[in-house]
Amino acid sequence: MFHQTLANLVLAIHALFIAFAVLGGLLVLRWSWARWLHLPCMAWGATVVAMGWTCPLTPLENSLRQAGGAAGYTGGFIEHYLLAVIYPDGLTREIQVLLAVALVVLNALVYAAVWRSRPSRGAKNGQ
């Protein structure tokens, strides 16, 4: 039971990480300091997807499930849990690269909005 609980915790952290990588730029609109957390997460997420790598959390979750007596799964987290939800049938490397680019572009647009909404240095100094 302990290993299954840890596996579920890793699963929840993995899902939150993905959500933060995709949507974390929106938090930067409210809290500018969040960019220091979001930018590396977004870069890692885009790199993992674009390169077709397996996130280290996936084998960790599988190991914990197997240690708890359950079967692990093949493929990555996204393929196992989210493929049917967010990816179309016939997923190709080209589509993965496109999704990685979309992740970066979406967040670049958010960061551009953050940048534009910042007061200019002259306005800060009363000039």
- pLDDT tier at 98 (50, 70, 90 boundaries)? confident
Angstrom CA distances, 110 to 9, 98, 116, 124, stand at: 30, 18, 10, 22
Mean pLDDT of 102-118: 88
Supply the range of the domain harboring residue 75. Answer: 2-119
Q: Is residue 125 part of a domain?
A: no
Question: What predicted TM-score, i.e. pTM, was given to this entire model?
Answer: 0.67
4's CB contacts (< 8 A; 6+ apart) are 64, 65, 68, 70
Q: Is residue 126 part of a domain?
A: no
The pLDDT tens digits for 3-60 are: 888 888 888 888 899 899 989 999 988 898 999 999 999 999 999 988 888 888 888 8
Inside any domain, residue 64: yes
Q: What's residue 100's pLDDT? A: 87
Number of domains the chain is built from = 1
The answer to the question of residue 15 being in a domain is: yes
